[in-house]
Amino acid sequence: MRVGVASHGATGHIYPLLGFADVLLAAGHDVIILTGSSLVPWLADLGYAAEAVGETIGWGAAQVQSRFPELTTSLPAEQAWRFDAELFADALPRAMAPALVTAFESRRPDLVLYESTNLGAVLAAAELSIPAVSLDLWAVGRWHVKPDELEQRIRAVWAERSSAPLTLDPLLGRAHLDPAPPSLRIPDMTEGESIRLPTRQIAWGDPRTSLTSWLTGHRSRPVIYLTLGTVGWGTVDLVRDALAGLTELPVDVLVAIGSYFDPTELGPQPDSVRVERFVRQDLVLRQVDFAVHHGGSGTLLGAAAEGVPQLVMPMGADQFQNAEALAVSGAGVALPQGGVTAAAVRGGARQLMDDPSYRAIASRIRGEILALPTPAERIDDLVALLA
């Protein structure tokens, strides 16, 4: 097959797709990655065929806020869907659909594989009668936005482009690859006409990066991994508060802060704390005892796949539903929105350390993930969609 892989230009969106792209390439298929311009040089350095297409999520967010100034990324949990509905089902598809049509006409893929927020890929594939399959980014098996809110917006964009009926499920494509393990999956997701293909998510990391020697060296205490993800959730004060709570415990802490503030802003830290901008999270999660994070689907699923108990501090997007599902499963603890204090983080981490049931349940969920078909085992299903 010639596969067009479509992703917004953000690492949290493209990492799951790269795990699948590697499997397709290993099986002898052609893969072209269509994504934001900022990621193309990096992908080319890694050996992928990549092409810059469309606008950035930041551009889309600016469009939304110019039309709806009351919408921000820090809405209360019960309203968090409103910003993302306008962003991913209206502003971005309007820019991405025509750009992807041009790219698909040039590349002529047999199949389009897109991450589930890139709804412009559905419209472009439908316009050119190309089968489209989504790779769900959701740890719990569904959007945090109500499907009808998404569908009415994306169908409106389609109606402006074409008078023909939309022949693909507007959210999920002809089929969708669902990585949610049973214990975390919220059961009331409507599948529509899309074929659901449960699939194990393969954690991806830059192969040129290795583990820090600080982590691989002999350690006599539990190690906690602290991160707020790749898109700058939270502030330096929030990280500082979390560290203040964790350093009161008999643990070592590895912190990944990304590029959104300088490590020196955290102030002096004890020898038990190691601060990095970026880490190989897929490797780190195999080495640590607990994870403290924002609740993004990639980090939550990555920790779950290694049987790591988690303390989640949700701040926006899908993080609230992820945190709730994790807490209900018994594999972790969730703090309320705005509830990140040193005392709360210390108490949540102590709860994970003192109660062995969290690790037992996390281990069971790891078994559920390992029981899911691998991406390699799903390639024949993708080929069958071309028949």
> Could you list the pLDDT tens digit for every one of the 387 residues in the chain?
999 999 999 888 999 999 999 999 999 999 999 999 999 999 999 999 999 999 999 999 999 999 998 877 677 767 778 889 999 999 999 999 999 999 999 999 999 999 999 999 999 999 999 999 999 999 998 888 888 999 999 999 999 999 999 988 999 999 999 999 999 998 765 556 789 999 999 888 888 888 888 888 767 899 999 998 876 666 788 888 999 999 999 999 999 888 777 888 888 888 889 998 888 999 999 999 999 999 999 999 999 999 999 999 998 788 999 999 999 999 999 999 888 899 999 999 999 999 999 999 999 999 999 999 999 999 999 999 987
What pLDDT sits at residue 115? 96
Closest residue by Cα to residue 349 from 278, 279, 275, 293: 293
Q: How many CA atoms lie within 13 A of 125 on its CB side?
A: 29
Domains and CATH numbers, the chain: 2-200+373-384 (3.40.50.2000), 213-370 (3.40.50.2000)
What pLDDT sits at residue 338? 82
Phi, psi angles (nearest 5°) of residue 69? -60, -20
Q: What is the C-alpha to C-alpha distance for residues 144 and 247, in angstroms, rounded to an integer? A: 33
Alpha-carbon torsion angle 19, 24, 27, 28, nearest 10: -130
Maximum alpha-carbon separation in the chain: 66
What pLDDT sits at residue 337? 84
Is residue 86 within 8 A of residue 97, CB to CB? The reply is no
Q: What is the C-alpha to C-alpha distance for residues 264 and 268, in angstroms, rounded to an integer? A: 8
Q: What is the C-alpha to C-alpha distance for residues 41 and 238, in angstroms, rounded to an integer? A: 32
Q: What is the C-alpha to C-alpha distance for residues 330 and 240, in angstroms, rounded to an integer? A: 27
pTM: 0.92
